[in-house]
Amino acid sequence: MSNIKTADVRALLFDMDGTLLDSTPAVNATWAYFAREYDLDLHEVLRTSHGVRTIDNMKNWCGITDPIELRDAVELFEGMIVKEAQDLQAAGKDGLIALPNVLNLLNKLNTSPIPVWAIVTSATNTYASAALPTAGIPKTPKLITADDVTKGKPHPEPYLTGAKALDVDVKDCIVVEDAPSGVRSGVASGAKVLATCTSHTREQLQNLGAEWIVTDLSKVSFEVKDGRVQLQIDETP
């Protein structure tokens, strides 16, 4: 039985961190600082925080409830990630880098005269606007951030908002995600979900409702025709 599957949809909705770009070294360094400051179990934080809005992580892990303190903590956290990434890159190391085949896919999507993709991230607009160009990610037709929703992933609101921004039916979209919370968000929205094993294992992503699971986006190819995206998806591990 072939592991190559096909799909035809109106739009792709991509998560950012862990799906399009890898910020792991910078994020881990930032969480290490917060773990020291707030006496957190760093291993447990890193295991469960990925794909969750920073504001929700600050509430859940650091116990911050005051709105002004929350705002300041989010700005500090995300600012530290960007600064750490830039320092790593200046030292010739990986800071914020595009994941395999991402630039090729996104540049091809941008050849469509009709917008066929968006980024839907749990990050704030400030962080996303700094991280995307740092990693060389091309400009997206629509960017949905934590600032655009009232409920973050795994709630379906982020991906429903992304589909609405493109003026498409979410059921005619594929959500591309790497984190369990994001997969659940996409499934709950009514979209089909393509999960990538770029931050979690295949076992961690199974049984969450994703229609396809791939190693990374090098396993995906497509053609854009008449405002639709026709995909070939290789699920070979």
* pLDDT tens, position by position, 84-125: 998 988 888 888 899 999 999 999 999 999 999 999 999 999
Say which range, 126-135, 149-158, 211-220, has the weakest mean pLDDT: 126-135
Do 110 and 214 lie in a common domain?
A: yes
Candidates 17, 22, 56, 178; catalytic one: 17
What integer pLDDT is reported at residue 209 of this predicted model? 98
Do 100 and 16 lie in a common domain?
A: yes
Annotated active-site residue 17? The verdict is: yes
Do 132 and 173 lie in a common domain?
A: yes
Give residue 212's pLDDT band: very low, low, confident or very high (50, 70, 90): very high
Domain that holds residue 37: 24-90
Do 10 and 44 lie in a common domain?
A: no
Do 109 and 181 lie in a common domain?
A: yes
Give residue 133's pLDDT band: very low, low, confident or very high (50, 70, 90): very high
Kindly report the CATH number assigned to the domain that includes residue 177. Answer: 3.40.50.1000
- 6-15: pLDDT as tens digits: 999 999 999 9
Candidates 15, 22, 56, 178; catalytic one: 15
Do 81 and 159 lie in a common domain?
A: no
The pLDDT of 58-68, averaged and rounded, is: 97
Do 122 and 9 lie in a common domain?
A: yes
Residue 25 has pLDDT above 80, yes or no: yes
Percent of the chain with pLDDT over 70: 100
- 180-204: pLDDT as tens digits: 999 999 999 999 999 999 999 999 9
Residue 2 has pLDDT above 90, yes or no: no
Percent of the chain with pLDDT over 90: 91
How many domains, in total, are found in the chain? 2
Residue type, 191: A
Do 44 and 147 lie in a common domain?
A: no
Residue 1 has pLDDT above 80, yes or no: no
Annotated active-site residue 87? The verdict is: no
Do 14 and 124 lie in a common domain?
A: yes
Compute the radius of gyration of the chain from its Cα atoms: 17
Do 149 and 37 lie in a common domain?
A: no
Do 166 and 179 lie in a common domain?
A: yes
Residue 129 has pLDDT above 80, yes or no: yes
Ranges 22-31, 124-133, 210-219, most confident: 210-219
